[in-house]
Chains A and B, each alone.
Chain A
C-alpha cells in the first residue's frame, strides 16, 4: 500500500544534542510537509517542500531545518533541541498544493528531550 512512513516512532534526545527525524513516502507526491504537534493542540506547520523548493513558515525557529534529497525522503533536523521542542512531529504529503488536495499523514515521531 502506498503510504507515508516515519522513523523512528519514538526518539529520545538530550538537551542541546542534534537530532534528525526521517520521513519517506511511496505516493510519489510532489509536496512534503513537517508539522509540530504539542500535547492537546492542533498540528502547526513548520515548513514544506514543493519538489526541491523549500518554504519556511515565518514563525518557525531557526533551530529547525529540513532536507529533501529526493522525491521520496524528507528529513527534519533539530540543531539544538530544547525542552520546549518535545512534541509529536508529523510528516504529510500531497500531490500538489491545490486547495482541493488531500494531505496524507504519517504516524508521527514522538520526541522526548531530557
Chain B
C-alpha cells in the first residue's frame, strides 16, 4: 500500500530565506510523486511531478524537489521565499489505478 507523510504541519520562514517542506512516502513499487499548492479558497495547482526520470525535478515559481529512493523522501525546496508563496502544500503519490494519496498538508507562512 502507498502512503505519504508530510513531516511538518506548519513551516514559517522569512522572505528571501530558503524553503524546505519535507515529505516521506511509502510504496511497494516505483511511485509517481507530485507537489501541489493551494492558496486560500482556491483549487490545487501542480508545482512539479516525478515519474522515474530525473531525480531532481524542477517546477514552477522556482520550486524543485529531489526524489531519494534510499531515504523514501521527496522534499520540496526553494532558494528564496516570496510573500506570494504563503499557501498550503500537499505531497501526493499516485497509486495504481490513478488514485491520489495525499499527505496531510504543510502550511507555509512567509514573514516580511
Contact = CB atoms under 8 A, between A and B. Distances in A.
A79 B102 CA distance: 27
A98 B102 contact: no
B46 interface: yes
Question: Which bracket fits the contact residues of B?
Answer: 20 to 34
Contacts of B104: 42
Main secondary structure of the interface of B (DSSP, over half): loop
A104 interface: yes
Question: Which bracket fits the contact residues of A?
Answer: 20 to 34
Interface string B64-104: 00000000000000000000000000100011111110111
A97 B95 CA distance: 10
Contacts of A82: none
A42 B3 CA distance: 13
Given A42-B90, A42-B103, A97 B97 contact: yes
B94 A99 contact: yes
Interface of A: 4, 6, 31, 40-43, 45, 88, 90, 92, 94, 96-108, 110
